[in-house]
Amino acid sequence: MALLTPMSALPATDTEIAELRTMLDQMKSQYERRIQDLESRLAKAERDATKAATRSEAAAVRAEEAARVASTESRPMTAPVVTPPASPEPGKTGFGALNSGNAFNPQISAFLDGNYYHDGIDGEGATLVGLAYQPSRGADHGHDHEEDGGHVHGLTENGFNFREAEIAFSATVDPYFDASLFLAIDGDGTVELEEGYFQTRSLPAGLRVKGGKFLSDFGYINRQHPHQWDFVDQNLPYLNLLGPHGLQDTGLQLTWLPKLPVYTLLGVEGLQGNQEIFGATLGDDDQAALELGDTDDGPRLWTAFAKVAPEIGINHALQLGLSYADNNQHQEVQEHTHAHDGDLDDAHDDDHAIEIHRNGLAGDAQLWGVDLVYKYDGGGAYGHKSFKLQSEYLRSIKDMRITSSAHPEVVGSRRTFTTDGLYAQAIYGFAPKWTAGLRYDVLGMTNEVSGSENASFGSSDRWTFDVTWNLSEFSRLRAQYAHNDILQAPGERERFDAFYLQFLVSMGSHGAHAF
Partner 1 sequence: MVKGLVGFILGGLLTFGATQAAELDVVATSSSMGALARTIGAERAQVTVLASPDRDLHMLQAKPTMIRALRDADLVVAVGAELEVGWLPVAIASAGNPRILPGQPGYFEAAAQVDLLEVGLPANRALGDVHPVGNPHVNMDPVRMAIVASALGERMALLDPAGAETYRANARSFAAATEQRMNAWQARLAGAPGVILYHRDALYLLDRFGVPLLGTIEEIPGVPPTAQQIKALSEHLQGRSGVIVYAPYMSAQAPERLAKGLGWEARRLALDPPIGADGGGYLDHIDLWVDTLSHAR
Cβ proximity to partner 1: between 57 and 473 the closer is 473
Q: Give the integer Cα–Cα distance in Å for 7 and 10.
A: 5
| C-beta of 138 vs 321, nearer to partner 1 | 321
What length is written for the chain?
515
Minimum separation from the CB atom of position 477 to partner 1 (A): 15
Report, in Å, the least distance between residue 392 CB and partner 1. Answer: 17
Q: Pick one of 153, 223, 384, 401: the residue that binds partner 1 (CB under 8 A).
A: 384
Contact between 433 and partner 1 by CB under 8 A: the answer reads: yes
Q: Are 468 and 500 in contact (CB under 8 A)?
A: no
The residues in 303-332 that bind partner 1, with binding defined as CB under 8 A, are 307, 309-311, 314-315, 317, 319
User: Does residue 105 touch partner 1 according to CB under 8 A?
Assistant: no
Which DSSP letter does residue 122 get? T
Q: Does 354 interact with partner 1 (rule: CB under 8 A)?
A: no
C-alpha of 389 from chain center: 22
What binding mask, one character per residue, do residues 196-235 give for partner 1 by CB under 8 A, x or -? ---x-xxxxxxxx---------------------------
Residue in 110, 171, 257, 501 binding partner 1, rule: CB under 8 A:
257
| Interface segment toward partner 1; rule CB under 8 A; list 229-237, 377-385, 404-412, 480-488 | 377-385
Residue 193, amino acid: L
Cβ-based nearer residue to partner 1, 256 or 440: 256
Compute, in degrees rounded to 10, the torsion defined by CA atoms 217, 265, 175, 94: -120
Name the residue nearer to partner 1 (CB basis): 103 or 512: 512
Site for partner 1 in 13-72 (CB under 8 A): 67, 70-72
Smallest distance, partner 1 to C-beta of residue 475, A = 10
- Proportion of the chain in helix, strand, coil states, percent, rounded to 5: 20, 45, 35
CA pair distance 61, 68, nearest whole angstrom: 10
Smallest separation (angstroms) from partner 1 to the CB of 269:
16
CA distance 456 to 459: 10
Cβ nearer to partner 1, comparing 245 with 307: 307
Contact between 431 and 381 (Cβ < 8 Å): no
Q: How far apart are the first and last CA of the chain?
A: 106
- Taking a C-beta distance cutoff of 8 angstroms, is the pair 251, 274 a contact? no
* Interatomic CA distance for residues 440 and 109, integer angstroms: 32
Query: Which one of residues 81, 155, 173, 191 is an interface residue with partner 1 (CB under 8 A)?
Result: 81
Instruction: Indicate the burial class of 445 (C-beta count within 10 angstroms; 0-12, 13-18, 19 or more).
Output: middle
3-class SS string, 143-179 = CCCCCCCCCCCCCCCCEEEEEEEEEEEEEECCCCEEE
The stretch among 139-147, 326-334, 379-387, 439-447 that binds partner 1 (CB under 8 A) is: 379-387
Give the binding site for partner 1 (CB under 8 A).
67, 70-72, 74, 76-78, 81, 89, 92-100, 178, 199, 201-208, 255-257, 259-263, 265, 307, 309-311, 314-315, 317, 319, 375, 377, 379-384, 432-433, 472-474, 510-515
